[in-house]
Structure 1
């Protein structure tokens, strides 16, 4: 497989033209949290965001957002220690509560991910500290960790949760995938080890060239290619 990906300077210039100029493009970008800021995240905040993205997967995001105060109330603010004390019977009962979106499989995933977070916190002090030390040069490795050690955090679910928590990551949106395929960075299934490695290497090259975060690069590349609109979440 031969990659003909453009330099980031070319990509940035095209994205700026499509979005109304450099200043307009930069206004659409945002930076991730710093390592210090990530370290200050509580384990409850991390579990809440993972859980929210699981419930938003395959569902209308705005509906989940409106119901989230009910989730926070019903699941004790997503404190991992409290979630781990809940029996199967308690979780099953909560899965029928009208204050939340009733999906038993996703409800049980909350406790599974509470265990993952607790185990990580025991080793690193907090899940936020764990995220802070994970190198951006292997962000796909972090995706893999969440998929393997967590529950229902594969695909873009884990990546979107990381983005919302402030961990620097790219997101493989439809437009970004279209770019990667068009320029030969990937072919076939995106989840193959070969393609995952190729995507990470390409982003590492763009980051070395631009000095921007993975988050900013991800958005710029997506804005430069395919059908997208100003302000689209990526």
Structure 2
């Protein structure tokens, strides 16, 4: 299998978006490693929680209620969350100020524990993520899926992107491109597909020097219907 040169992908994206300047103006860029490392643990838990609750409903509904989430869940500080008894979570899940769904509410203490466990070994969750090797970014996705709760599929990667982590996303457009070019040929959540996609992004990064975040968006703009990238 021959992977398309990134220069050709970029040229096609420029044509579709009205030129280089127009394309570049659309591209989101990741944060630097030191900025990722400085993100407090509570903001990681907040990001994971937001994406869990946004799954399956309009994102705006969650954003509109988000101040209530912050207030009800201790601004997502790990210590008070991890000290709550089970019955407290059942009560919080009935609060009319949030989206009342106990299984999603219960991801908060579970994911708080995941973050706390990382903190014990690495100082902070942000420092740990900042040091993750980009050449195997999908292994970070798999860690979130295995050790977190409801962070599989696109939920974990979307939360990472929201926090400024340099990662590609397996959006509809990116997946369609990877399938059309036969880079992946199995379910998008299989390790075979994830590693094949990661390897392709490694090649494009080596060719272009661009971040995975930029490459992911450029691929989508080069071939897709321009959904979120």
TM range (shorter): over 0.9
Give unmatched runs, 5+ long, in structure 1. none
State TM-score, norm by structure 1: 0.96
- Determine the structure 1 residue equivalent to 2:144: 146
State TM-score, norm by structure 2: 0.98
Give the counterpart of 2:57 among 56, 59, 67.
Answer: 59
Deviations 1:69-88 (A, max 9, x none): 00000000000111101111
Give the counterpart of 2:228 among 225, 228, 233.
Answer: 233
Asked if 2 retains the 8 angstrom alpha-carbon contact of 1:4 and 1:184, the reply is: no
Asked if 1 retains the 8 angstrom alpha-carbon contact of 2:186 and 2:192, the reply is: no
**CA RMSD, aligned part only?**
0.8
State the alpha-carbon separation in 2 of the partners of residues 35 and 193 from structure 1.
26
Give the counterpart of 1:118 among 116, 119, 143.
Answer: 116
Asked if 2 retains the 8 angstrom alpha-carbon contact of 1:32 and 1:215, the reply is: yes
State the alpha-carbon separation in 1 of the partners of residues 114 and 181 from structure 2.
37
- TM-superposed CA distance for 1:190, in Å, is 1.4
- Determine the structure 1 residue equivalent to 2:185: 187
State the alpha-carbon separation in 1 of the partners of residues 28 and 195 from structure 2.
25
- TM-superposed CA distance for 1:6, in Å, is 1.1
User: What's the secondary structure of 1:224's corresponding residue?
Assistant: helix
- Determine the structure 2 residue equivalent to 1:134: 132
Moved over 2 A (4+): none
Deviations 1:25-81 (A, max 9, x none): 000002111110011100000000000000001111011011000000000000011
Asked if 2 retains the 8 angstrom alpha-carbon contact of 1:54 and 1:106, the reply is: yes
State the alpha-carbon separation in 1 of the partners of residues 35 and 116 from structure 2.
20
Deviations 1:72-117 (A, max 9, x none): 0000000011110111100000001011001100101000000000
Q: What number of residue pairs does the alignment pair up?
A: 229
Give the counterpart of 1:31 among 29, 32, 57.
Answer: 29
Give the counterpart of 1:173 among 162, 171, 174.
Answer: 171
State the alpha-carbon separation in 1 of the partners of residues 32 and 120 from structure 2.
22
Bigger drift between 110-119 and 190-199 goes to 190-199
